[in-house]
A and B are shown apart, each in its own frame.
Chain A
Amino acid sequence: MRTGWLAAGLVLLAAAPAEAARIGEMVEWDFGAQAARFFSLQDPSVRYALGGSMLLGLCCGLMGAFLVVRKLALMGDALSHAVLPGVALGFLWGMTKNPAAIFAGAVGAGLLGAVVVQWIRATTKHREDAALGFVLSSFFGVGIVLFTMIQNLPGGAKSGLDGFMFGQAAALGPEDVWLLAGVTVLALGAVGLFYKEYVLTSFDEGFARSLGWPVKLYHYSLMLLLAFAIVSALQAVGVVLVSAMLIIPAAAAFLLTDRMGAMLAWSAGFGMLAGAAGAFFSFTGRSLPTGPFMVLAAAALFVLALLFAPRHGIVGRLWRRRSRAARIRRENTLKAIYHVMEDGGFREEVVAVDGVAARRHETAAGAGREIGELQRAGLATEADGRVAFTPEGRQRACEIVRNHRLWELYLTNAAQLAPDHVHEDAEVIEHVLGDETVRRLERRLNFARRDPHGKLIPGLADLAGGPPPTARVAGFGGKGGAP
């Protein structure tokens, strides 16, 4: 079923660019010229648009990082919709787009939204999702009512308030950029000054409260900064997509680092990059709205991080899984060679590839490939259908066999499992036991020499690279069941 709808989604995705490309041809004629204009930064409107977009990316990235680690991602979404009635009221103040009045109104509405969310959660049995959904949509409804009323007023039709919906960076004026700069400085200052407070209250609110910190104050000051960031970003990204600029760069940063400080830096950086990209595409694309392009740029960064983040990326994880599978395959081959030698009482330094193949339940060709891998890794050498360990290979083989038998012994002795249960587990565990665990196991088992099946556990002397334990084992070779 999943593949079914995924396929349907892919068809939709594939269809879209084809159409877009056709439309792209029409606007291509002025793309080069526009790009040149953009990069020359001669045009003041370009400077304002670029500067404003990057500032908003920085500011939203900072705030968003806290939202992501506090699991408040959708609070950003709710507040960005909730500011709308404030924007409308701010406009009504003088029937002009006075940034200060709009700013004050929107921040007030945003804070009221945050309070209502808390209030619904405290006094009703509704959960956070319902509280956020309520604030988001009903505040927006009030905003729509006010907006449509403003449009009926003389002078209201050309209020340009539509710009607040999807954003238009090209319409940014110097006041807007100064406002953004001020908010960014404020956010940087607050985060810089109260870094440890914000980090601790985000991570462990209960502990912060036990220190006597005013946790509520920090929460609402963060919400205030968030409202500042949202309101100052509205003009460029629009109501619906502000939350994307808060969350997507921060989520990408979250995949790249395990430290809060670094996360803030990455998040702010991604935000600025996405802002610049949005401004560029909007400018070159004939007054296309800026917000969506910024969001798509941020989403592209997120997808890159999702795929290629060093520790948490999908590609890295697949690669590690593959290389681990290859290592396990090599180790199993080494173990098979060891077993064949053991069955022969360690009288021979070399064994037949056929014997190894039988042990591995492989065809001769398959075993040949596996031994080829060992050769490439410098663990074994092969000639005339016979294979021998290199010193390194012998050591690794002894380690694996030792791990296997130690684990079997541990499970039967310490965990009281039946001897016929332990082999399958040991087949897995033998590849993951670290040196430290092996030493703990040996101590726990009093340096036992025999596994539950009576086979010898290769000891330290064997691992030091000496000859296989031929002499000592001669009397015991072949005794006991299959390991």
Chain B
Amino acid sequence: MMKDFSTTAPPLEVHDLTVAYDRRPVLYGVDLTVPAGSLTGIIGPNGAGKSTLLKAVLGLLPLSAGWVKIFGGTLAQNARRTGYVPQRESVDWDFPVNVMDVVLMGRYGHLPPGRRPGRADREIARACLDQVQMLPLAKRQIGNLSGGQRQRVFLARALAQESDLYFMDEPFAGVDAATEAAIINLLREMKARGKTVVVVHHDLSTARDYFDRLVLLNMRLVAAGPTAEVFTPELLQKTYGGRLTILSDVVQSLGEEP
């Protein structure tokens, strides 16, 4: 009974999500359902709370209100089915690990405490590196990679997690054109294999081509749905046309309360 329920539950369901923390972008009453097998882009202006939404969903930020369900359960229950690609700046690229080590970290969720990655894990990691065309650089220290290469390493790590639902925070930010094309091909391939991918995206001009569903966000949810329905001048105007100044002021004052 429970199992049956979890397979039919949508990969991501967010209800009335509110995130308020001191003097940073916040979210207000967001309702969102991401259907299985979709490639969803989250778009909105700077400070609209796009990354905040991902972090809140992943439990990296406390929620002020609302709830999040991953495959109908908690994140902890479905940690293995969930992959995360953080923003590139979030880690220390001088860290003494090479490309292979980072990709192998994607396998850690599948290993019990105390077990090191084995031959099978290495094979998977190599296959993932090959998919992002980084296999020749497997032994390179991560500090010696270009921005695009670093992004591909993170993607390979996410692939190695073998999850069903992926969250990616601005994977296209500051990468070269070749990497951008490689990433979008990869995302489409993942979708074709039935994975669900949620991507924070900052470039309005490519959003329409890249994603089959869009979430328009500006502190609150403006619209969510198939790209053809949502990518309209009217809704985009509503998303990008000016901030809800009163809302942001009031929520900010809430964050400052002791």
Contacts and interface: CB of A to CB of B under 8 A. Distances in A.
A257 to B, nearest CB: 18
Nearest to B218: A415
Interface string A433-447: 100010011001000
Nearest to B64: A428
Given A321-B258, A411-B29, A416-B220, A437 B249 contact: yes
B177 interface: no
Contact of A437 (B16, B220, B222, B246): B246
Given A437-B246, A437-B250, A440-B246, A415 B65 contact: no
Interface in A208-239: none
Contacts of B29: 411, 415, 417, 421-422, 425
Contact of A410 (B65, B94, B246): B246
Given A321-B258, A415-B244, A432-B253, A425 B18 contact: yes
Contacts, number: 52
Contacts of A425: 18, 28-29, 65
Interface string A382-422: 00000000000000000000000000001100111110011
B247 interface: yes
Nearest to B251: A429
Interface string B136-147: 000000010000
A479 interface: no
Interface string B231-258: 0000000100000101101100110011
B220 A428 contact: no
Interface residues on B, range: 20 to 34
A437 B244 CA distance: 13
Contacts of B28: 411, 415, 417, 425
A441 B246 contact: yes
B247 A414 contact: yes
Contacts of B65: 424-425
A265 B157 CA distance: 54
Contacts of B16: 421, 424
A97 interface: no
Contacts of B249: 437
Contacts of A22: none
A361 interface: no
Nearest to A317: B258
Contacts of B247: 410-411, 414-415
B212 interface: no
Given A418-B31, A421-B29, A432 B220 contact: no
Given A416-B222, A429-B250, 9 more contacts: A125-B143, A324-B257, A410-B246, A415-B29, A417-B29, A421-B29, A428-B254, A437-B246, A440-B246
